Amino acid sequence: MLAARMRFVQYLRKGDLAKRLGLLADDQKSLVELAGVEGVPNDLKTLIAQNPNIEELAKKVQKQPTLALNDDVTLLPPLTDPGKIICIGLNYQDHCDEQNKPAPKEPMFFSKFNNTLVGPTDNVIAHKASDKIDWEVELVCVIGKVARHVPKEQAMDYVFGYSIAQDISARDWQKERNGGQFLIGKSMDTFLPLGPAVVHKSLVKNVYDLNLKTWINGVEKQNGNTGNLIFKLDDVINRLTETITLLPGDIIVTGTPKGVGMHRNPPEFLKAGDVIKSEIVGLGTMTNNVVAS
């Protein structure tokens, strides 16, 4: 039962000046505070770097206080300062199909900056610089230890856990401007809602059988399954670590299924007043309002 609590969140209580670390309940209505637990820091990235024994941690938190989630508690992104945010484009066959593109022969990697990160209930800004802002629900893989030249058969040993992201994208800047480079279109402020938690891998029986969905204003737009990933996590980690050292707390945003706004007929884009709901079964839900810049 205690192991089921290994859903790590970072949060602020009203009046707090520094973030806290906690464990989110399955129903997302309360959390267990980790403040004061021996050997546990106040941020998740540091904890991951310590390579904690999850069973021992579960024992330590048995008598920790529970905090109800209400207006006095703000859930932050579960990781606020990852060293790297690495994303993968065209990693679901149905997302390739909706663009009339063949599946890539190797992963298409790109990056986002940390300024994009917001929490699971924070606002997404509809920047005036773009009128083609789109949604993409994605599984996030969180790296658990230093990974360099990792063989494919060992790659999953380097995973700490999983989370949900919305890879918000300004399609005009991604596709039509900035010389075809993705960076600005993907890295505008608030363009990566992340959360609600980082769920330890021990709670995920099969990472390739997770349903993921997006709703916009209550209307389902995306409904996919991670079993349709073209490049699986072991392959991705193996390829990346041939040339890039991955560190504890780095995140890999693994791609999105079909149903993005750009490829609908007619195309649909986000505007101020819209509500984005994201879900991956077993990992939780996020609800983010779109606001004017």
> What is the predicted pLDDT for the residue at 62?
86
Query: What's the rounded Cα separation, in Å, for the pair 266 and 66?
Result: 47
Mean pLDDT of all residues in the chain? 96
> What is the predicted pLDDT for the residue at 201?
97
Q: What is the pLDDT of residues 151-176, one digit of tens each?
A: 999 999 999 999 999 999 999 999 99
Q: Provide, rounded to the nearest whole percent, the portion of the chain with pLDDT above 70.
A: 99
The dihedrals phi and psi of 220, each to the nearest 5 degrees, come to: -65, 130
> What is the predicted pLDDT for the residue at 5?
80
Residue 1: which pLDDT band, with cuts at 50, 70 and 90?
very low
Token pair recorded at residue 212: 């993921």
> What is the predicted pLDDT for the residue at 219?
98
Q: What is the pLDDT of residues 105-154, one digit of tens each?
A: 999 999 999 999 999 999 999 999 999 999 999 999 999 999 999 999 99
> What is the predicted pLDDT for the residue at 180?
86
CA distance to 3, 11, 129, 144, 235, per residue, from 201 (Å) = 11, 21, 39, 10, 17
The pLDDT of 27-45, averaged and rounded, is 94
Residue 24 pLDDT exceeds 90? yes
Residue 218 CB: number of other CB atoms within 10 A? Answer: 7
Containing 184, the helix (H) or strand (E) segment is helix 183-186
Q: What is the pLDDT of residues 54-111, one digit of tens each?
A: 999 998 898 899 999 999 999 999 999 999 999 999 999 999 999 999 999 999 999 9
> What is the predicted pLDDT for the residue at 286?
98
Query: What's the rounded Cα separation, in Å, for the pair 182 and 174?
Result: 5
The pLDDT of 43-53, averaged and rounded, is 97
Q: Taking the mean position of all CA atoms in its chain, how far away is CA 287? A: 13
Measured torsion, CA atoms of residues 210, 148, 84, 275, in degrees rounded to the nearest 10: 0
Q: Provide, rounded to the nearest whole percent, the portion of the chain with pLDDT above 90.
A: 93
Decide: 182 and 222 in contact? Cβ < 8 Å: no
Residue 3 pLDDT exceeds 70? no
> What is the predicted pLDDT for the residue at 2?
47
Model pTM? 0.97
